[in-house]
Structure 1
């Protein structure tokens, strides 16, 4: 699909061609003094200092002190008419690309009316290119190539309100009004749970808070209460996801790029950089809950074709309202919240893509939309929904245990073969490489991320492992499995954590100076996800069956329960805060271990802090309202359907997070 055109929706008035004729032509060139690097630089720091800095920013606010100020952020490349030692060194140093920035691709924030005043071309692109050309030629003997698209602001902030803005604002205010009325009704009238106006009670903040902090799930099925370990797993996993996304902050507009590149050679950081595989935990939990809940449902109901329709509709209704609110906010009011040298590049571009592709998100097809920058982290919701539909079809079509075993086995093999084949055909990496350049571009153009990591059909293996685990756990519970008979195998469970770190650390091979062989990359694409998935499944299965008490005790800690219930809201919101922080930068950042740690902890804190009110005011009320309106909740054969509904609402609807 063709990318949407960049229509920047700026909170400031954007000028792209003509500059004021009143600009005084004072001779001045862009200064590019290399920023001071950390003392922990790579070997050959003297040679490193000879290269132009990758990121450079003129003072932003000062650019608009004078009338007619114009500030542009430009991504440009270094070029030469003939080979030069410096350009050869830049190209040589930029390899391997897995752990180095591309030092021939620079991003500068330029106050055009101060740094480039001796260039009077009416074409802004040519003016910027001439300015940069002269500077780079004088200092480095290099030339520049400025692309057609760049981002400029003139400091005159305006608020353009569109019909979409008004609609979203009305919906949000209406939700606040419903919460106010529902909470007031609950507080003043104190109605009985079964006799009050249930519609209004759905929006009672007090009742939603009680639901949030209740230690155990409100479900008549006692076997579901054995899934408490999932709470800890979801919270720990979402924290890891937030940390992975907070790395974006350390790859854009930093003044010590040598320090960032040097950290790739340290083993502890390799565990972090290879942590993208942790998303398999979510697929395993999702597959487990689907199979396990359907097994419980099948005890008193026939699995017919109606179940497929009901399951798909229930899932869409449960996930979409909160998702749609966040999506609507991003494509409307989000653009009004910030300003800065790269606000248009980061936020404006996202708004543009969201306005063009919002319906892909609501249909959960956005993970097959290449190059989109609209809430790119929600690829998982789409992939998981696609696998959910596949899982329901398999479970309904395959009625016998043998047929399910055969089909799941074939799907598991396909889940290993498909990523391997795609990796071989397209010559991709064996896993997503958290390289400085890929992170700098938010993975929008990383082919391994696009073709293998984010697709539904390339994550089948982990989902099938989860479904198989759900079937085995249900069978073991029905057979009165006694874990005491297998005490001697506890060590196998305890080994899952260190083995998991080893599997994650195995990705270090992809950060070597020489690219891994095609055979190694194909093998990794086929095996890393399933191996990690089996380790997670062993840990989860042992916790549900009370096979051991160390990991289970940690995962079943009561503190995880309320946090686990807001993980979906946290997942939806945290990425918006990460992009907001990046987009509002007005100066270069100095990266250090402590800085990244504070950013990580701050993002987690802000993400969960925002998730609690979002859950109380949006996610929980709308989920209960949908549950109230569904016809299955009003059938006479109430107990089994209520159990299915509680199962779906308590676990399955948030199985991914």
Structure 2
């Protein structure tokens, strides 16, 4: 079969042109024209029909140096050119991004489209006796210049303001430290006005980042920082694997054969790690809000709902908006290469068009198929569940006798609703991570859009976390230690093996095409989706009550305190780092486990380095100002759990 990806030499094409000549390099999508008389075509059709485990080999990717292509076409007769031209035909699969996403694409298609079609069909006919429709996606010229507009300048202004505030605040904080004692940075200064002035102090925020609370609840739950960090490591692992499928590969067959190995389901099913974050978010929300409500004489009401959601919005949004602005401006200007525009200009355009869906936290429903910062779907879903969770706490606070019925109703609803949705939408019994969907970062994948990112699909695990928070408070109040139970200890030790084993079962959906709609698949989807949150909650309770003291001590280590706190910033910034490092390659990626491992670790290190600066210079200062101006419910704060 034709290779999925072949590229002319990018640098030689653009830099090797004679002085004064305009050199152009184009990235092209190729769709092979059906040919029933061709054995190769039948092989392509047969191999691609296993669409859950194989790429669509009817769809190819080519990088073309237009100088070479032009020279080839000029050497042909008109009869040969006409014979090689292939018109566009209907297909039942997406093969290119919307042409309006990339700047000047319509003009490039008009100018070079016919020439590219002839050139590529000449190559394809010579090697495989096939023809194809071609569509230019992006073109780069050696005369392209960096264009800076008002939005690019606004990012520089924002950076200048943040850096200036950090320098001035740090200098002021140091100047009022008359005793030159580090203890000065660990405690509040003597007035609210001074606290505002020192909110951007790098020294003070460093100690805030590395400090450890001695409150009983915080000491109980200190291990959550380790789980945040380790889960973020798994998130980056998954996104590195996704990047290997997004970037055209030299050895795609090896990746496809991985899907014939049942152990690969641990990687594809690893998307379930998101449910752990939802469970932790619900767990902390229940503990903090119910503890806060129990200390108040008056009932919680609408004002509390509005205030808590406002505080969370202030807590999350400034850093989120800053990274969105970075993606919408300077990301596309920082690198180049045959794949660079595909990853950077795509993000630039979507963040300029759809940034508002992110900042309103509705991006998991609105414009979900053209996302800015695709990982932001989790933030939208989590924010929506936070609102619902607060509403549920307020209702149980006002009608205490209805606490159990309300939670039972909510949990039952979180099982029934997704089951009905899966059934009537005729979806699979699990989230199928296909290779072809990954080529377009899931933009055009119905399974992703309908059964992975919506609130109604993920609510069950958030509610499981809230129920676990209620159980934790009840156990502490009644001085009950579940770790004394033999059965609980056995159950806790079985959680991880059962959770991992449950992922292996997903293999049946990759090797079979079951008839849909299906009642059993709808039920299976809901149970397996929500079981991950249940597994997470059992694991959390076990660590809280020290079922495994050695594991608890490791997870309580000081190193995880700052690593856990900067995970939100790392979650926002890691896709920027991965684009910057890996989308500037000059040839199709050669997949290997060593290469994947190096990609993961380098992404983790540099994402956390970037996150440290973002946290110290923006996230922690905003949190400090929010507490001073809006308040934080007498010491109760709401920390985001991060992310997918």
Q: Same fold (TM over 0.5)?
A: yes
For this pair of structures, how many residues does the alignment match?
588
Superposition pairs of residues 399-548 of structure 1, within 5 angstroms: 399-483=398-482, 485-487=484-486, 489-512=488-511, 514-518=512-516, 519=518, 521-548=521-548
Offset of residue 582 of structure 1:
4.0
SS at match of 2:123: helix
Q: Which stretch has the larger CA shift, 518-527 or 269-278?
A: 518-527
Offset of residue 421 of structure 1:
2.5
Superposition pairs of residues 290-329 of structure 1, within 5 angstroms: 290-301=285-296, 302-329=299-326
Distance 1:554 1:445, change over 3 A: farther
Equivalent-residue separation in structure 2 for 1:445 and 1:222 (angstroms) = 48
Residue 231 (structure 1) aligned to one of 222, 225, 229: 225
Equivalent-residue separation in structure 1 for 2:65 and 2:510 (angstroms) = 37
**Alignment partner of 1:642 is 2:634:** yes
Distance 1:373 1:485, change over 3 A: closer
Superposition pairs of residues 234-633 of structure 1, within 5 angstroms: 234-251=228-245, 252-301=247-296, 302-368=299-365, 369-398=367-396, 399-483=398-482, 485-487=484-486, 489-512=488-511, 514-518=512-516, 519=518, 521-630=521-630, 632=631
Distance 1:482 1:138, change over 3 A: closer
SS at match of 2:586: coil
Equivalent-residue separation in structure 2 for 1:420 and 1:241 (angstroms) = 26
Distance 1:173 1:146, change over 3 A: same
Residue 7 (structure 2) aligned to one of 46, 50, 57: 57
Show structure 2 runs of 5+ residues with no match. 75-80, 82-109, 179-183
Query: Per-residue displacement from partner, 1:91-115 (whole Å, max 9, x unpaired)?
Result: 1111321211111100111111113
**Alignment partner of 1:79 is 2:33:** yes
- Name the Cα RMSD after superposition: 1.9
Aligned residues of 2:276 and 2:533 also touching (Cα < 8 A): yes
Residue 176 (structure 1) aligned to one of 163, 167, 186: 163
- Structure 1 ranges of 4+ moved more than 6 A: none
Aligned residues of 2:35 and 2:41 also touching (Cα < 8 A): no
Offset of residue 490 of structure 1:
1.1
Query: Per-residue displacement from partner, 1:196-255 (whole Å, max 9, x unpaired)?
Result: 6212211111111111112x236xx42232111211211111111111101123112211
Q: Which stretch has the larger CA shift, 314-323 or 618-627?
A: 618-627
Equivalent-residue separation in structure 2 for 1:205 and 1:123 (angstroms) = 53
Aligned residues of 1:483 and 1:546 also touching (Cα < 8 A): no
Offset of residue 521 of structure 1:
3.4
Query: Per-residue displacement from partner, 1:315-345 (whole Å, max 9, x unpaired)?
Result: 0000001001100111111111111112222
**Alignment partner of 1:70 is 2:64:** no
Offset of residue 465 of structure 1:
0.2
Distance 1:171 1:257, change over 3 A: same
Name the TM-score, length of structure 1 as normaliser. 0.86
Aligned residues of 1:217 and 1:225 also touching (Cα < 8 A): yes
Offset of residue 624 of structure 1:
0.9
Show structure 1 runs of 5+ residues with no match. 1-50, 634-640
Offset of residue 403 of structure 1:
2.1
Offset of residue 517 of structure 1:
4.7
